């Protein structure tokens, strides 16, 4: 009877850290979001706009709101899981919706790190899971963005852990979710290969089963996706044509997101230097103890790979930093110094305190580009179904939220416009930068647009001047952020 009575007490003791750290992570992620006045990234408004469309039209199979994009006729929701999570909250103000989902995803990513470290027997696992946020300004910034890559970070960590420990159910579930969560679903295969290579380096026998589980799960996830065939095409466009063929190749005539540019060496060392040192230290320790444990070697090798890729493209820093810190956490199991965790935490805070403070200050000072009063005015001026000519693509989501059921040039990134019609894309790109004399007529005849809406950037000054002086052009708005015209 005593043993029976003690059992629930033991279960409660085992569970309370899970609850406590889960609440802690939700509080940390929630406070970050609550203190951000307006989401940092314009892509966030695009994702909320898609969630609105899903609420109204169901699962999307076309995207007529950007008719010049390849996605108009070949739509694939490469972040469907993210949009389905946003959809229940899309009835709220879009900023509140983004903050709620951002807090949930951030907490889930921290909790996934904690579960891995706890399972691996790392001392102070809960604190280690928080340390990536203090290790790099770049990672902290990417962490607070309400975008699908946060989900991908958690899935990547779980896939590698499941592969190296051969937790086949977890491996199958995470791999199957990947095509619904993020365009980089191929990472599940890459990380599983890294796990098997680490096992070979540790003197163990590799197995075909983890790769088979991942392959079957990915195939199942893709097959069940409502845009399955287009998803495969889109993944090729994004990961090969966009990343390798344009971003890495330095193609001119394309303005991509900041995460696609590469760091200068100073930036790389200033913002990722702590992660570099953590990776190198973890790799040395993991190699020395590889015969005892292939897990540490798998994580440190993955961190090294992501760190190398971050020299080419900044977007891989969001994986590099958490993998680097978790690698060092796993390496700490082989060290006898009890104050090691405290020493690492102190060093990371000192390394990133100043830039993190600047990030926090900047989060509190952001302004909404189209507040509700302006949105109502624009809805009155620009009727539903109207085609709007825009000078770029980054603010398409902001416009879609402010003026639903209008049509814009391109969403997500300009590659999808370039793929559909290269000649028309070139014309669109050069019109705001090198405007022809009869620019209003060119826009009307080439794009069928009766309205122009662009961010008020100095580099487009000549374009705005020619529009305003052109015949039949009415200025609807000329404000701090926007220039809006009707081409009558």
pLDDT tens digits for range 74-105? 898 999 999 999 999 988 989 999 999 999 99
The total number of structural domains that make up the chain: 2
Query: What mean pLDDT comes out for the span 337-345?
Result: 88
pLDDT in tens, 253-279: 556 556 666 777 888 888 888 999 999
Q: List own/partner pairs for 83-88 with CB under 8 A and 24 or more apart.
A: 83/47, 83/50, 83/51, 83/54, 84/51, 84/54, 86/47, 86/48, 86/50, 86/51, 87/51, 87/54, 87/55
Question: Given this model, what pLDDT does residue 257 score?
Answer: 58
Is 3 domain-assigned?
no
Which of 115 and 11 is assigned the larger pLDDT? 115
Residue 72 φ/ψ region, left for φ over 0, alpha for ψ in the -120 to 50 degree band, beta for the rest:
alpha
Is 10 domain-assigned?
no
Q: Look at residues 324, 348, 364 and tell me which one is the last residue of a structural domain.
A: 364
Question: Given this model, what pLDDT does residue 25 score?
Answer: 96
Query: What mean pLDDT comes out for the span 200-226?
Result: 92
Question: Given this model, what pLDDT does residue 253 score?
Answer: 53
Q: How confident is the model at residue 26 (pLDDT cuts 50, 70, 90)?
A: very high
Whether residues 20 and 167 fall in one domain: yes
Whether residues 397 and 302 fall in one domain: no
Question: Given this model, what pLDDT does residue 5 score?
Answer: 47
Whether residues 350 and 406 fall in one domain: no
pTM given for the model: 0.88
Whether residues 416 and 349 fall in one domain: no
Whether residues 122 and 214 fall in one domain: yes
Say whether pLDDT at 44 is over 60: yes
Say whether pLDDT at 233 is over 90: no
Say whether pLDDT at 6 is over 70: no
Whether residues 349 and 379 fall in one domain: no
CB 459: neighbour CB atoms within 10 A? 9
Q: To the nearest whole number, what is the mean pLDDT of the chain? A: 88
Is 11 domain-assigned?
no
Which of 158 and 479 is assigned the larger pLDDT? 158
Whether residues 399 and 327 fall in one domain: no
Question: Given this model, what pLDDT does residue 11 score?
Answer: 43
Residue 407's domain comprises 372-487
Say whether pLDDT at 2 is over 50: no
Question: Given this model, what pLDDT does residue 183 score?
Answer: 85
Is 297 domain-assigned?
yes
Question: Given this model, what pLDDT does residue 484 score?
Answer: 93
Question: Given this model, what pLDDT does residue 178 score?
Answer: 94
In 3D, which of 91, 69, 83, 53 has the Cα closest to residue 147? 83
Question: Can you tell me the distance from the alpha carbon of 98 to that of 101, in angstroms, rounded to the nearest whole number?
Answer: 5
Question: Given this model, what pLDDT does residue 412 score?
Answer: 73
Question: Given this model, what pLDDT does residue 416 score?
Answer: 84
Whether residues 212 and 357 fall in one domain: yes
Whether residues 72 and 128 fall in one domain: yes
Is 22 domain-assigned?
yes
Is 1 domain-assigned?
no
Pick from 21-25, 236-240, 285-289: least confident: 236-240
Say whether pLDDT at 1 is over 80: no
pLDDT in tens, 399-458: 999 999 999 998 777 888 888 888 999 999 999 999 998 999 999 999 999 999 999 988
Question: Given this model, what pLDDT does residue 428 score?
Answer: 93
Contact 138, 145 (CB under 8 A): no
Query: What mean pLDDT comes out for the span 282-306?
Result: 92
What DSSP assignment string belongs to 420-476? H-HHHHHHHHHTTTS--TTHHHHHHHHH--SEEEEE--GGGHHHHHHHHHSTTEEEE
Q: Look at residues 319, 345, 364 and tell me which one is the last residue of a structural domain.
A: 364
Question: Given this model, what pLDDT does residue 417 score?
Answer: 87
Report the DSSP beta bridge partners of residue 473: 487
Which of 319 and 472 is assigned the larger pLDDT? 319
Q: How confident is the model at residue 205 (pLDDT cuts 50, 70, 90)?
A: confident
């Amino acid at each position: 009877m005593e043993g029976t009575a003690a059992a629930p007490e033991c279960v409660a003791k085992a569970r309370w850290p899970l609850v406590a750290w889960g609440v802690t992570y939700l509080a940390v992620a929630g406070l970050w979001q609550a203190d951000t006045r307006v989401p940092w990234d314009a892509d966030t408004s695009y994702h909320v706009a898609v969630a609105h469309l899903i609420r109204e039209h169901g699962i999307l199979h076309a995207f007529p709101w950007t008719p010049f994009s390849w996605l108009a006729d070949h739509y694939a929701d490469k972040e469907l899981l993210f949009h389905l999570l946003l959809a229940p909250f899309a009835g709220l103000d879009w900023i509140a919706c983004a903050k709620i989902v951002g807090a949930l995803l951030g907490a889930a990513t921290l909790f996934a790190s904690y579960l891995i470290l706890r399972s691996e027997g790392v001392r102070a696992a809960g604190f280690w899971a928080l340390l990536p946020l203090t290790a790099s300004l770049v990672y902290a910034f990417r962490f607070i963005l309400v975008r699908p890559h946060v989900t991908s970070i958690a899935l990547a960590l779980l896939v590698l852990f499941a592969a190296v420990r051969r937790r086949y159910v977890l491996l199958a579930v995470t791999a199957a979710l990947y095509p619904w969560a993020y365009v980089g679903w191929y990472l599940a295969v890459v990380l599983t290969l890294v796990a098997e290579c680490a096992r070979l380096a540790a003197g163990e026998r590799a197995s075909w089963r983890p790769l088979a589980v991942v392959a079957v799960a990915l195939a199942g996830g893709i097959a069940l996706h409502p845009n399955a065939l287009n998803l495969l095409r889109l993944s090729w466009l994004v990961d090969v044509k966009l990343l390798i063929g344009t971003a890495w190749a330095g193609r001119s005539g394309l303005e991509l997101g900041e995460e696609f540019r590469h760091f200068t060496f100073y930036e790389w060392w200033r913002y990722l230097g702590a992660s570099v040192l953590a990776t190198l230290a973890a790799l040395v320790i993991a190699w020395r103890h590889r015969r005892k444990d292939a897990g540490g070697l798998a994580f440190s090798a993955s961190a090294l790979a992501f760190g190398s890729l971050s020299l080419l493209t900044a977007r891989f820093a969001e994986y590099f930093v958490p993998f680097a810190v978790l690698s060092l956490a796993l390496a700490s199991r082989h060290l006898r110094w009890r104050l090691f965790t405290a020493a690492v935490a102190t060093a990371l805070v000192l390394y990133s305190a100043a830039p993190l403070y600047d990030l926090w200050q900047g989060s509190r000072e952001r302004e909404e580009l189209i507040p509700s009063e302006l949105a109502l005015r624009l809805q009155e001026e620009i009727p539903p179904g109207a085609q709007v000519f825009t000078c770029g693509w980054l603010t398409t989501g902001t416009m879609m939220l402010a003026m639903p059921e209008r049509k814009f040039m391109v969403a997500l990134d300009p590659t999808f416009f370039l793929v559909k019609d290269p000649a028309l894309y070139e014309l669109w790109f050069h019109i705001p930068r090198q405007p022809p004399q009869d620019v209003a007529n060119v826009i009307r005849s080439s794009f069928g647009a009766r309205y122009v809406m662009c961010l008020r950037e100095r580099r487009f000054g000549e374009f705005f001047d020619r529009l305003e002086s052109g015949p039949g052009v009415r200025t609807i708005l000329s404000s701090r952020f926007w220039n809006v015209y009707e081409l009558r």
